[in-house]
Amino acid sequence: MRWEKLTTNEFAGLDRSIPVVLNVAAIEQHGPHLAIDTDVAIGGHFLDRLEARMGDQVLILPQVKVCCSEHHMEFAGTLSIRHETFLAYVGDILESVVRHGFTNIVLFNSHGGNQAIGQVLLETFGSRHRDCRMAMLTWWRLAAPELEAIRESGFAGVNHACEFETSLMLLAAPDSVRRELIGDMSYVETFDWANADMIRAARGALFRTMHQMSGGTGVVGDPSTATAAKGERITEAVVDQMERVIASLAKAN
């Protein structure tokens, strides 16, 4: 069920414990083969599948498409906002939700650069609204064990414009993929304690721009192993876990 498709009168009949989901995404470069709206398209794809399963058991807010992508700004077309702007703007949207009486909020993240500030929002907003539940879900972390079983690439093969994101776009928006420009593995290693990918975390964090991580290609990972069939497996794994978490929030009231 989509927030913006309801009339104001129709809100009166809604159970205020219904989980409300807000996707935060990104408009940023995704190498030569994927469009700049990739994180938006992937987030929207998961939400479409979730809505198809859960119907009026979930309330989905309009996506926040432009978020924190400063580390991609060396690549043309990327749009970004400051972390402070994210905290204020996304926080204000969620304040509106709470003022209308909703008590279960899920921040659903489809972009790596939103993770840190999303956690800050989770903790600051949650501490102010202790009569509500707020959760943050980043899709590749949410289904990490299941996704590890799906991947074919080795370490660093799933990162950005990679095996997973390219597979999802081949499924969700195949006409947008520049297939002839899909390349091979691209990842510039750094200190052993800071090397990481989507699923396999590092021991410590080191700031690097996407230009540094990709060696200028804009791709971090191995898109050559991507298929639409794999995109379907990824989708099922992620949406299974989304449904489980969201259903558990609703039942807890």
Q: State which amino acid sits at residue 224.
A: S
Q: Give the distance from CA 2 to its chain's centroid.
A: 18
Confidence label for 252 from pLDDT (cuts 50, 70 and 90): confident
The percent of residues above 70 in pLDDT, for the chain, comes to 100
What pLDDT is recorded for position 67? 98
Closest Cα partner for 113 from 24, 9, 6, 204?
Answer: 24
Q: What mean pLDDT is predicted for residues 155-171?
A: 97
CATH number, position 111: 3.40.50.10310
The answer on pLDDT for 253 being more than 80 is no
Q: What mean pLDDT is predicted for residues 173-198?
A: 97
Q: Domain containing 34: what range?
A: 3-251
The string of pLDDT tens digits covering residues 193-217 is: 999 999 999 999 999 999 999 999 9
Helix (H, G, I), strand (E, B) or coil at 55: helix
Cα–Cα distance between 166 and 230 in angstroms, integer?
A: 10
The answer on pLDDT for 62 being more than 80 is yes
Please provide the average confidence, as pLDDT, over all residues in the chain.
97
Number of domains in the chain: 1
Please say whether the beta carbons of 226 and 167 come within 8 A: yes
Q: State which amino acid sits at residue 92.
A: D
Please say whether the beta carbons of 179 and 32 come within 8 A: no
The string of pLDDT tens digits covering residues 92-130 is: 999 999 999 999 999 999 999 999 999 999 999 999 999
The string of pLDDT tens digits covering residues 215-229 is: 999 999 999 999 999
In eight-state DSSP terms, residue 133 is: E
The answer on pLDDT for 74 being more than 80 is yes
DSSP string, the chain: -BGGGS-TGGGGGS-TTS-EEEEE-----BTTTB-TTHHHHHHHHHHHHHHHHHGGG-EEPPPB-----GGGTTSTT-----HHHHHHHHHHHHHHHHHTT--EEEEEE--GGGHHHHHHHHHHHHHH-TTSEEEEEEHHHHTHHHHHHH--S-TTSSSBSSHHHHHHHHHH-GGG--GGG----B-----TTT---SSS--SS-----HHHHHTTSS-BB-GGG--HHHHHHHHHHHHHHHHHHHHHHHHT-
